[in-house]
């Protein structure tokens, strides 16, 4: 399943294509944490965990800022 077809709770994930990277973003509306392990982004909000399949890449940056989840995949 494509990451852009997945959700985190009620938040849909949007896919943004750039020349050198693909960015996925979702407005969670709450704070949380995100960690990337291999081809999985693990998002934890409150006491709920979401495992998101992400494209494989050597360079993945993921963070949550002001309730917005951002995952940038380069390459």
Amino acid 58: pLDDT: 87
DSSP 3: G
Q: CA-to-CA distance for 42 and 60, rounded, in angstroms?
A: 13
Count Cβ atoms within 10 A of the Cβ of residue 48 and give its class: 0-12 exposed, 13-18 middle, 19 or more buried. exposed
Amino acid 56: pLDDT: 85
Amino acid 27: pLDDT: 95
Give the pLDDT mean for 26-45: 94
Count Cβ atoms within 10 A of the Cβ of residue 45 and give its class: 0-12 exposed, 13-18 middle, 19 or more buried. buried
Amino acid 13: pLDDT: 92
Using the predicted structure, report yes or no on whether residue 2 has a pLDDT greater than 70: no
pTM for this prediction: 0.88
């Amino acid at each position: 399943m494509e990451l852009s077809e997945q959700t985190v709770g009620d938040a849909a994930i949007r896919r943004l294509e750039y020349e050198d990277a693909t960015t996925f973003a979702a407005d969670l509306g709450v704070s949380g944490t995100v960690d990337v392990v291999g081809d999985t982004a693990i998002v934890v909000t409150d006491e709920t965990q979401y495992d998101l399949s992400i494209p494989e890449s050597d360079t993945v940056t993921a963070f949550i800022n002001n309730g917005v989840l951002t995952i940038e995949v380069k390459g």
